[in-house]
Amino acid sequence: MLHSLIREMAKGKKPLFVQLILENIWSLYDAVLKKDKEKIDKIVTSLGLKVGVREARHSDPKVQISAICGQWLPISHAVLAMVCQKLPSPLEISSERVERLMCTGSQTFDSLPAETQALKAAFMKCGSEDTAPVIIFVSKMFAVDAKALPQNKPRPVTQEEMARRRERARQRHAERLAAARGQAPVGRSSDGGALEASPEAEEPPGEQQGQSETPDPVPQEESNQETFIAFARVFSGVARRGKKIFVLGPKYSPVEFLQRVPLGFSAPLDDLPPVPHMARCTLEHLYLLMGRELQDLEEVPPGNVLGIGGLQDFVLKSATLCSLPSCPPFIPLNFEATPIVRVAVEPKHPSEMPQLVRGMKLLNQADPCVQILIQETGEHVLVTAGEIHLQRCLDDLKERFAKIQISVSEPIIPFRETITKPPKVDMVNEEIGKQQKVAVIHQMKEDQSKIPEGVQVDSDGLITMTTPNKLVTLSVRAVPLPEEVTRILEGNSDLIRSMEQLTSSLNEGKNTQVIHQKTQEKMWEFKGKLEQHLTGRKWRNTVDHIWSFGPRKCGPNILVNKSEYFQNSVWTGPAGKASQEASRHRDMGNSIVSGFQLATLSGPMCEEPLMGVCFVLEKWDQSKLEEQGASDKQNQDLVREGRGQGVSCCLGDGVEERQDRQDGHSEPLEKSPAQRGEPPLPDCYGPLSGQLIATMKEACRYALQVKPQRLMAAMYTCDIMATSDVLGKEGR
C-alpha cells in the first residue's frame, strides 16, 4: 500500500489526504530512521516542540518518534477533538433510528401500544426536565476491581485532621514518658478520653501519622472481589443517584404489562403486579468513565455516556432502564463475529468446581460475545469468537474470575449436519460418476444396515415407524433443501421467531390482532420468497404445508405435513377453540413437532444441529388408537347401562364368573376404572405423547441415515481491499 501511494505521488496524482497529512508523517519517520539530526531539529523547531535530551539521544528510533508525536499529535486530544467535531449531537437523532431502537425482531413501530409510541417524542426531544421520562440503555457490563471504585480509594487527609492527629501523637508521647518515670500510668487526652497503653501507642509518631493518612484497608475478601459496572447512555431525562427505576430485560413485553395494570397507570409504581423480565432497582452509583479511572457523579444529563454501579444482580449483559414500564426494550447489540470456537473447561482439583462455576458466570456477564454452556454430560463448555478471544477469556477466568488452575480441552469448531443429492455427471465424467454412485450406494447400504428391525424403509427413503404400543404409525422422508432456501431461512430467523410467538399467543387466547395485522405483509413476502425457490413437481404445495421450523422453531430446517389426517400450517395459525377431539389431535401434533425439534437439534452423525433439511410427514395413521378409544367408550356405556339396571348380566355370565374366580368376590367391576368413568390405565411404554416424540425423533434420524450425509464446517471469510499496483499478474 505504501509503495502504491509513492508511485501515485511520483506520477503527480497525490490525493489530498496524502499531500496534507501522510507526507508530513512520512518525512518525520524518514528523518528519525535515517538519524538526520538537522532535519529533526528543523521539524521540532517548526512545530514548537520540546524534546528532552534523553529522548533525543536515545538509540531506539521508536522512543524519539514517540516523544515527538506525543507532543505534536497527542492521541487523547485528537480523539476528543474528533468526537466534539464529528459525532452528531443527541438532538440530531432521526425518527427512523428511534423506531429501529424501539422495535425488536420483525416488530413494526405502528404495532406498539399507544403508551409506548408516545415515548418517541421523549427520544426526539432528549429533554432534561423533571417531567421527562428517564430512558437509559445498558449496552454491556464490564468488570473492575473493587479497589478501583472511588468509594474504596484512599481519600486525602485535610489540614485539620493532620493537626488533630499530630496533637494526639504528641500527648501519647508525653504520657509514655510520664509512665516511664512512674508519675502517671494513664493520662487524659484533650477530648477527655482515657488513653491506655497499647501496642499502637508504642509506635513512633511518624509512623502513626503516616498510617492515619489512609482509611482502613479494604478486607482481603472484598479486595479480591470483582464488581461490575454497566456501560450505559442516557437517551432522555436526567439520571440521578438514588432514583428508582425499572430494569427491562431483552425479552420484556410492554403489551403484557399493559394488560396486567389498571388503565391509565392508576396503581402506584410500588404496587405494580410482577411482570416477567422486569425488575425494580435504585441507581446507587453513577460514574464518569475517565479511561481506567472512575469519578463519582450525582446526576448525568441526557445524551451522555456513563457507568452505573450496583446493577450486577439485575442485568446479565444488556438491558433498558426506564422510569415508565411502558417503554420497550431496545434491540440487542449485533456482533459481526459469531462464537464458534468452543472448549471444555474443568478444574484441576475437583474440589474447586464451585469456584469454576462462579467464575464462568462472571465471565459470561463481563464479555458480551462469549457463551457458557453445560452439556448433557455435565461438561462446562466455553464458546468464543476465535483463538485470540479464547486465550483472553481463559486468562481472565484463571486470573480474575475463578482464580484457580483449570484444564482446557482442544478447541472444537462446531459442525452442521445435512444431506445432499446424488452427484450429477456428464459424458466426460461418466466413469467418475459411476464410482461416486457406487460409493453412495455402499454408504446407503451401510447406513441401512444400522437401522433396527421393525423400521420399514422403501426404495425412495421413506421411513415408516410405529409407536411402542402399536397404536400410531408415522412415515417420514428427508429431502435436501436448495441452498437459496437455506439462506432465506437463516436471514429471516427473527420473522420466524415472531411467527412462532404469534401462534403461541393465539393458542393462549391473548389479544394480538394488531401485531398480527402488521406482520402479515412480511409473512406473505417471506412465503413468496420460499415459493419462488421451491418449484417443480417435487415441491408442489410444500410451502403451504410447512408445519414448523427447527431447531428451536426458528432454524434452517422445515417440517412439512402432507398427511390427510391432521392439517396445520405456520401460515394459518391455530384453528381456534374447537371440539375436544380436535384439541386432542392438536396436542398429538405438538408431540410430533417436539420430536422434529429434537431431531434437528442433534443429528445422527456427531450430535450436531441440522441445516438445510426438509422432513416430510407423509403418513400419520392412528386408526388403531381410535378403535381402542371407541371400544373403551362402548365398554363404559355398557357398564354404565348395567349399573343403571342394577344387574351385570349384560357383560355375560362368563365374565362375571371369571372375575369371581380371580378375586374371590363379586365386586371387581365396581372397582374398575371403566365403571368409574376414569381414563384407562397408563400404557406400559409411557404416555402416548412421549411415545410420539420418541418415534418422530427416531424416524427423522433414520430418514437422514438412508440419504447421502454430509458435515458442514464453519468458514472464515474476509474482504481484502488493495490497489491494482500491489496485485500480481494472477490477481489481475
CATH topology of domain 341-414: Alpha-Beta Plaits (3.30.70)
DSSP state of 20: I
Out of 127-131, 444-448, 459-463, 535-539, least confident range? 444-448
φ, ψ of residue 473 in degrees (nearest 5): -120, 135
Residue with cell 426531544: 125
pLDDT for res 607: 86
Mean pLDDT of the chain: 77
The 10s digit of each residue's pLDDT in 43-89 is 888 888 888 888 888 888 888 888 888 888 888 888 888 888 888 88
In 340-429, where does DSSP find H-type helix? 353-366, 387-396
Residue 663 has pLDDT above 50, yes or no: no
DSSP state of 421: P
Cell of 257: 404489562
| CATH code for the domain defined by 464-624+687-712 | 3.30.230.10
pLDDT for res 583: 60
Residues 376-392 have a mean pLDDT of: 87
The 10s digit of each residue's pLDDT in 684-707 is 556 888 889 999 999 999 999 988
Q: Which residue has the higher pLDDT, 578 or 365?
A: 365
Residue 307 has pLDDT above 90, yes or no: yes
pLDDT for res 638: 58
Is residue 571 helix, strand or coil?
A: coil
pLDDT for res 426: 52
**Domain residue ranges in the chain:** 15-83, 110-148+225-261+273-322, 341-414, 464-624+687-712
Pair 586, 529: CB distance under 8 Å: no
Residues 629-655 have a mean pLDDT of: 52
Q: Which residue has the higher pLDDT, 293 or 478?
A: 478
Residue 649 has pLDDT above 60, yes or no: no
φ, ψ of residue 542 in degrees (nearest 5): -70, -40
H-run or E-run covering 712: strand 709-713
Residues 493-515 have a mean pLDDT of: 68
Question: Which range has the top average pLDDT, 223-237, 453-467, 525-539, 709-723?
Answer: 525-539
Residue 600 has pLDDT above 90, yes or no: yes
| Secondary structure of 506-569 as H, E, C letters | HHCCCCCHHHHHHHHHHHHHHHHHHHHHCCCCCCCCCHHHEEEEECCCCCCEEEEECCCCCCCC
Note if the bond before 156 is cis, omega within 30 degrees: no
Question: Which range has the top average pLDDT, 4-13, 110-119, 441-450?
Answer: 110-119
How many Cβ atoms from other residues are within 10 Å of residue 196's Cβ? 11
H-run or E-run covering 75: helix 75-86
pLDDT for res 683: 56
User: What amino acid is encoded at 126 in this protein?
Assistant: C
DSSP state of 227: E
pLDDT for res 230: 92
Q: Which residue has the higher pLDDT, 106 or 457?
A: 457
Residue 195 has pLDDT above 60, yes or no: no
CA distance 306 to 372: 28
Residue 285, C-beta contacts closer than 8 angstroms, at least 6 positions apart: 149, 151, 241, 296, 308, 309, 310
Residue 679 has pLDDT above 80, yes or no: no
pLDDT band at 582 (very low <50, low <70, confident <90, very high): low
Residue with cell 369371581: 660
**% of the chain exceeding 90 in pLDDT:** 20
CA distance 432 to 426: 10
Q: Which residue has the higher pLDDT, 73 or 506?
A: 73
The 10s digit of each residue's pLDDT in 357-377 is 999 999 998 888 898 988 877
Residues 85-111 have a mean pLDDT of: 81
The 10s digit of each residue's pLDDT in 453-469 is 678 888 888 999 998 88
Cell of 193: 478520653
pLDDT band at 661 (very low <50, low <70, confident <90, very high): very low
Say how many residues make up the chain. 732
**pTM to 2 decimal places:** 0.66
pLDDT for res 346: 93
Residue 205 has pLDDT above 90, yes or no: no
Is residue 601 helix, strand or coil?
A: helix
Angle (nearest 5°) at CA 517 between 511 and 520? 125
pLDDT for res 670: 41
CA distance 123 to 322: 12
φ, ψ of residue 205 in degrees (nearest 5): -60, -35
Out of 137-146, 287-296, 443-452, least confident range? 443-452
Whether domain 110-148+225-261+273-322 has CATH 3.40.50.2300: no
Residue 440 has pLDDT above 70, yes or no: no
Q: List Cα–Cα distances, 11 to 5, 412, 732, in angstroms.
A: 10, 51, 21
Cell of 334: 449485533
54, 48, 47: which is closest to 24 by C-alpha? 47
Residue 35, C-beta contacts closer than 8 angstroms, at least 6 positions apart: 61
The 10s digit of each residue's pLDDT in 467-484 is 888 888 999 999 999 999
Out of 249-258, 488-497, 506-515, 523-532, least confident range? 506-515
Residue with cell 519517520: 29
